[in-house]
């Protein structure tokens, strides 16, 4: 079920909150098992066929962790990580590699055509983070219920944020409604939910009408004029931000209503003055994962400049491929890796770029590379790039109103997380949030209800 759907907002979430509140007060020992059950109900609502996959991955990885604690065998963890990646590869990348193989004349590699289980990339990365830290001696062993909740907790199982065990496991032992600030935390969670919904429904979704028709036309081979191209490129730049950051705000808000604090995932990324700064602000939990579990193990900045630049390029290329099984995603990640490498070389050369110039260059780079991320093929991306460069005639009309509103909020406004935690508790604020929530519900019922973009990853 979608966070922006009536079945979630008016049925599942209220029921879950009531059950959780009753159990937390009357039978605290059953609170975590209840959250596990609710998480599996939420996950199974999409496609019940994949519930055994999620449950099986949790059980197998937990058993591996227990076996490692008992035996200390060093091969267990690498084998389990390889198994997790192999499972991800079967569902997500087998057909991609089959298509690559079929570029060789006469090969005829078969395609499996498997459905992609929602959230498999995210819960696979959670397994990898925990197992890696367990092998390194940084993580302790946990019971099955706690581990299952860490992996499957429903606000973040489908699209993140990527939560480290050290950020949440200790919170499972707390009694959230016994805290002095329990009511305030619940209220702030509710505000985050409403604001995240509003970002998705009022800012992100309207841009789909600016973006989708242009990219579809490009995919069909039609020439794209300059106005259309810039409309689509800028529109998608802000659409994906409000879609994904809106989802994250909702996830953080829902978790807070259940007494759990998840890590912030966005920090006004379109204010970044360098590409390095951008990745410190955009999908922050993924950036930390790539840094700590790919870049540093590859050598990071400890083994000379060539190794550092190469590790950074490889990390971002793999990060691009993680987003989607396609060469356009690989190219998108590779370009960001090359851009980050160029930034390292510029800093080594002590080249100082004024902040306004850095912001302009970074923004242009991000907008242009988003085209590859969104396009269905290189040919479609090329059609957009030709339009951006003014190489195709006609099509100068440019729809700007929704883009302008989104750009102002994305670049000038604070993050929802920062704003919600700065606002003092007031009755007027409660009334305003209630009205906003009603408007969101009316908008959801009136318009097309778009799925979250990051669900496909």
Q: Which two tokens stand for residue 223?
A: 């020439």
| CA-wise closest residue to 66 among 142, 1, 161, 133 | 142
Considering 126, 127, 283, 323, which one is annotated as catalytic?
323
Query: What is the C-alpha to C-alpha distance for residues 203 and 191, in angstroms, rounded to an integer?
Result: 17
What pLDDT, on a 0 to 100 scale, did the predictor assign at position 145?
Answer: 97
pTM for this predicted structure: 0.93
What pLDDT, on a 0 to 100 scale, did the predictor assign at position 430?
Answer: 86
- Segments making up each domain of the chain, as ranges: 6-181, 183-456
For residue range 343-360, what is the model confidence (pLDDT) as tens digits? 999 999 999 999 999 999
For residue range 129-172, what is the model confidence (pLDDT) as tens digits? 999 999 999 999 999 999 999 999 999 998 879 999 999 999 99
Read off the pLDDT of each residue in 273-293 and give the average, rounded to a whole number.
96
Q: Helical H runs in 137-291?
A: 144-152, 165-168, 182-198, 208-219, 226-257, 275-281, 284-290
| CA-wise closest residue to 3 among 336, 177, 172, 247 | 247
Cβ distance 229 to 214 under 8 Å? yes
The residue ranking higher by pLDDT, 414 or 384, is 384
For residue range 299-323, what is the model confidence (pLDDT) as tens digits? 888 888 999 999 999 999 999 999 9
Q: Which two tokens stand for residue 78?
A: 């690498």
What pLDDT, on a 0 to 100 scale, did the predictor assign at position 97?
Answer: 87
For residue range 83-137, what is the model confidence (pLDDT) as tens digits? 999 999 999 999 888 888 888 887 778 888 888 888 899 999 999 999 999 999 9
For 149-176, b/e burial (b = at least 16 CB within 10 A) is: bbbbbbbbbbbbbbbbbebbbeebeeeb
Is residue 20 part of the annotated active site? The answer reads no
Query: What is the C-alpha to C-alpha distance for residues 102 and 20, in angstroms, rounded to an integer?
Result: 52
């Amino acid at each position: 079920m979608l966070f922006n759907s009536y079945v979630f907002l008016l049925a599942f979430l209220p029921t879950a909150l009531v059950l959780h509140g009753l159990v937390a007060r009357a039978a605290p020992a059953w609170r975590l098992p209840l959250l596990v059950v609710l998480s599996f109900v939420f996950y199974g609502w999409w496609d019940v066929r994949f519930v055994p996959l999620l449950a099986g991955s949790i059980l197998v990885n937990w058993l591996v962790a227990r076996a490692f604690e008992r035996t200390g065998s060093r091969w267990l963890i690498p084998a389990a990580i390889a198994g997790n990646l192999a499972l991800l590869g079967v569902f997500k990348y087998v057909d991609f590699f089959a298509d690559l193989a079929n570029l060789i004349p006469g090969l005829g590699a078969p395609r499996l055509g498997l459905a992609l289980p929602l959230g498999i990339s995210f819960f696979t990365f959670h397994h990898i983070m925990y197992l890696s830290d367990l092998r390194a001696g940084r993580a302790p062993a946990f019971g099955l219920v706690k581990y299952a909740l860490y992996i499957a907790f429903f606000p973040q199982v489908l699209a993140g944020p990527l939560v480290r065990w050290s950020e949440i496991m200790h919170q499972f032992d707390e009694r959230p409604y016994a805290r002095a600030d329990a009511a305030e935390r619940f209220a702030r969670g509710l505000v985050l939910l409403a604001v995240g919904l509003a970002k998705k429904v009022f800012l992100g979704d309207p841009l789909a009408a600016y973006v989708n028709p242009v990219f579809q036309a490009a995919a069909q081979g039609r020439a794209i004029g300059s106005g259309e191209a810039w409309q689509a490129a800028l529109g998608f730049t802000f659409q994906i931000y409000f879609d994904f950051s809106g989802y994250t705000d909702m996830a953080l808000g829902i978790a807070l209503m259940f007494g759990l604090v998840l890590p912030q995932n966005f920090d006004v990324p379109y204010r970044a003055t360098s590409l390095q700064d951008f990745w410190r602000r955009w999908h922050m939990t993924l950036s930390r994962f790539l840094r700590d579990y790919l870049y540093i193990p590859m050598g990071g900045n400890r083994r000379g400049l060539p190794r550092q630049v190469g590790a950074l390029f490889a990390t971002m290329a793999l990060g691009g491929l993680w987003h989607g099984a396609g060469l356009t995603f690989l190219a998108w990640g590779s370009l960001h890796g090359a851009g980050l490498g160029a930034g390292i070389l510029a800093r080594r050369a002590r080249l100082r770029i004024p902040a306004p110039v850095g912001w302009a260059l970074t923004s242009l780079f991000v907008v242009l590379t988003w085209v590859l991320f969104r396009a269905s093929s290189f040919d479609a991306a090329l059609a957009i790039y030709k339009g951006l460069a003014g190489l195709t005639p006609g099509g100068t009309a440019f729809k700007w109103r929704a883009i302008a509103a989104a750009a102002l909020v994305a670049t000038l406004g604070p993050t929802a997380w920062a704003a919600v935690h700065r606002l003092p508790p007031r009755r007027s604020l409660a009334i305003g949030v209630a009205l906003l929530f009603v408007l969101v519900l009316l908008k959801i019922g009136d318009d097309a209800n778009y799925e979250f973009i990051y669900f496909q990853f």
